[in-house]
């Protein structure tokens, strides 16, 4: 658990350093508000009515609205001037018998933990309250507000329970039945008999939150019997692969065809080929014709043709070389004759 508050308990002239922990927690099934059409989360924004724009949390203050609609804005400095704004004391006001505390006044509970050297006075106060059969009424400042609270033993720890102020309890007089209604003795006897039948020691483990259990069963049934609908994530380039297995099979087949293999030959011979399924026009992949196997006769003809072509190419190359050499010799002879004439 994480401490939410630190302070001291003032017990006469004795101070007990303590840490405050929340004594309760909620186990409700957490439900969010979502858009029924696509499951998108519904979020709320803090919008200023006067300007119609969203306001950051750092610019939000507290205000008191007057009867005429005007608002008095209070800032942090106004709260700092209050005498209880930074109070860290739990001051004991009075000790009262436990049975005199009406449960209607009780609110949220907190566990107290002794901090540092406060262990011994902590134990002293806990055992003294238990032995006397009393509880301590205290005042404490929590979340910038002074609260009346009850301090009492709870097992091996001290429990602090905040209380409502007397003016926060409504007067129920107008809700009471008419005072002239009379109850017959026989009716009272039967009511007492019924109460006696159901009377027993209190054991809180006997009671469960049936609504939370039923709601959890509904949620689990939805998860097991239906696909969980999630909002469609925005695309980040490229089309989404709808069927990964089909895409992988098509890639393998294409790679084998590129190597000159057929898809049928690549399958293990021990396994029987499954009957071919008719592919839908959208998913059908056109197959390229597999190369034909070369026979012995075809190979000989191909080799003969290749030899003939090679011989023809060599003969043509030799003839061209002779012609080129002849031309070169004639050119040299002509050049020498011309040179001899000029010299003469």
User: What is the chain's mean pLDDT, rounded?
Assistant: 74
pLDDT in tens, 110-156: 999 999 888 999 999 999 999 999 999 999 988 767 889 999 999 99
Structure tokens at 143: 């979340």
Q: Once rounded to an integer, what is the mean pLDDT over residues 68-94? A: 79
For the CA atoms of 227, 230, 234, 237, what is the dihedral angle to 10 degrees?
Answer: -20
- DSSP conformation letters of 239-302: PPPS-HHHHHHHHHHHHHHHTT--TTTTS-TTSPPPPPPPPPTTT--PPPPPPPPP-HHHHHHH
The whole-angstrom separation of Cα 241 and Cα 283 is 13
Domain boundaries, the chain: 1-24+83-167
Contacts of residues 34-38 at CB distance under 8 Å and 24 or more positions apart, as own/partner, are 38/229, 38/231, 38/232
pLDDT in tens, 151-175: 999 999 999 999 999 999 999 999 9
Which of the two residues, 317 and 210, has the higher pLDDT score? 210
- The CATH number given to 1-24+83-167 is 2.40.290.10
pLDDT in tens, 16-61: 899 999 998 878 788 889 999 988 999 989 999 989 999 998 999 9
Residue with tokens 């406060």: 118
Structure tokens at 17: 């350093």
The whole-angstrom separation of Cα 150 and Cα 138 is 6
Strand duo 14-22 + 145-154: pairing? unpaired
Backbone angles phi, psi at 255, to 5 degrees: -65, -40
- pLDDT level of residue 307 (50, 70, 90 thresholds): very low
- In this prediction, residue 306 carries a pLDDT of 47
Taking Cα atoms as reference points, which of 154, 136, 170 lies closest to residue 24?
154
Query: The dihedral of CA 308, 314, 317, 322: what is its sign?
Result: negative
- DSSP conformation letters of 141-157: EETTEEEEEEEEEETTE
Taking Cα atoms as reference points, which of 138, 146, 153 lies closest to residue 92?
138
The whole-angstrom separation of Cα 83 and Cα 104 is 28
């Amino acid at each position: 658990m994480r401490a939410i508050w630190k302070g001291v308990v003032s017990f006469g002239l004795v101070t007990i350093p303590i840490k405050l922990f929340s004594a309760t927690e909620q186990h409700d099934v957490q439900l969010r508000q979502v858009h029924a059409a696509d499951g998108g989360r519904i979020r709320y924004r803090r919008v200023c009515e006067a300007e119609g724009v969203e306001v950051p949390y750092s610019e939000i203050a507290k205000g008191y609205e007057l009867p005429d609609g005007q608002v008095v804005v209070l800032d942090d400095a106004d709260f700092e001037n209050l005498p209880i704004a930074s109070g860290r004391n739990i001051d004991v006001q009075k000790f009262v018998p436990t049975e005199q505390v009406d449960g209607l006044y009780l609110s949220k509970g907190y566990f107290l933990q002794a901090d540092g050297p406060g262990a011994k006075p902590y134990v002293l106060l806990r055992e003294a309250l238990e032995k006397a059969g009393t509880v301590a009424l205290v005042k404490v400042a929590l979340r910038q507000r002074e609260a009346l609270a009850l301090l009492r033993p709870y097992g091996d720890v001290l429990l602090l329970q905040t209380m409502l102020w007397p003016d926060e309890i409504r007067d129920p007089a107008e809700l009471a039945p008419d005072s002239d209604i009379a109850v017959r003795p026989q009716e009272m006897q039967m009511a007492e008999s019924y109460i006696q039948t159901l009377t027993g020691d209190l054991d809180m483990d006997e009671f469960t939150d049936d609504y939370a259990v039923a709601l959890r069963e509904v949620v689990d049934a939805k998860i097991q019997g239906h696909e969980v609908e999630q909002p469609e994530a925005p695309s980040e380039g490229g089309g989404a692969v709808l069927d990964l297995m089909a895409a992988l099979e098509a890639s393998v087949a294409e790679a084998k065809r590129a190597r000159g293999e057929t898809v049928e030959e690549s399958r293990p011979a021990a396994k029987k080929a499954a009957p071919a399924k008719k592919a839908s026009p959208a998913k059908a992949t056109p197959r390229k014709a597999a190369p034909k196997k070369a026979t012995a006769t075809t190979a000989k003809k191909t080799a003969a043709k290749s030899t003939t072509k090679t011989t023809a190419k060599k003969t043509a190359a030799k003839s061209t070389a002779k012609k080129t050499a002849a031309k070169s010799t004639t050119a040299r002879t002509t050049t020498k004759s011309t040179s001899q004439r000029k010299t003469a």
